Amino acid sequence: MNPLFRSALVTALAVPCLLAAGSVIAHDSPDHGQYDDPSAAKDSAWTRSPLVAKVRAATRRYKDINVAIGEGWVPATPCVTGPNEGAMGVHYVLPPRVGDGMLRADRPEALIYEPQPDGRLSLVGVEFIVIAEHWNTQHPNDQPAVDGHLMNLVGEPNRYRLPAFYELHVWAWEHNADGAFVDWNRRVSCDAQPPAS
């Protein structure tokens, strides 16, 4: 990837959050996921998915946001709310992974956190992201997928001010009654997002 474009992409991802998110208290977050919730156990797509298991194994240490920050993850968005119900949360990205045109189940491009009333950020899931042009150039005969799960195309212009990209959410740490791989989670809220400073 062109270094200048990578720098511009990272800036485009990081600046809105830095300006809008305000200060965040970084604490070790408890296991926010509802794996012990009996109703969640009934959702076999969530509890038995190999992809969810891989994501949980790869991201467990990032439940403590200080670990993520220490490893170079940077805020990319304020808390993203849904068009009707639910939210995604606050996205943190790892710049070297953004724009590399690669997809691996144990290497998501974004960690997703839900703001808590006490100022903590609680890990709820991840997002796999690949710029469409990069994927299509590097993999002209392959559909973008993570462990067999096809990704969604987000065209441009879009609310994130990014070029067209493919994305896939994995709600590895917060049960989603609508499915482990849908964009929005009705159990996630942006109500505790700090006001912009």
Other beta carbons within 10 Å of 122: 23
**pLDDT tens string 155-168:** 999 888 889 999 99
Rounded to 5°, the CA angle 119-71-88 comes to 45
Q: Is the pLDDT of residue 194 over 50?
A: yes
Supply the pLDDT for residue 47: 60
Single pTM value for the model: 0.79
Q: Quick one: which of 121, 162, 112 has its CA closest to 11? A: 162
Supply the pLDDT for residue 99: 81
**SS3 call for 2:** coil
Supply the pLDDT for residue 150: 96
Which string of DSSP letters, residue by residue, matches 19-79?
Answer: HHS------BPP--S-TT-HHHHT-HHHHS-HHHHHHHHHHGGGGBHHHHHHTT-EE--SP
Q: Is the pLDDT of residue 72 over 50?
A: yes
**pLDDT tens string 12-54:** 444 333 333 333 333 333 344 444 443 444 444 556 789 999 9
For the chain, the average pLDDT equals 81
Q: Is the pLDDT of residue 169 over 50?
A: yes
CA distance 81 to 70: 27
170 is written with which tokens? 């994995």
* Residues contacting 2, CB < 8 A, separation 6+: none
Counting every residue written for the chain, the total comes to 197
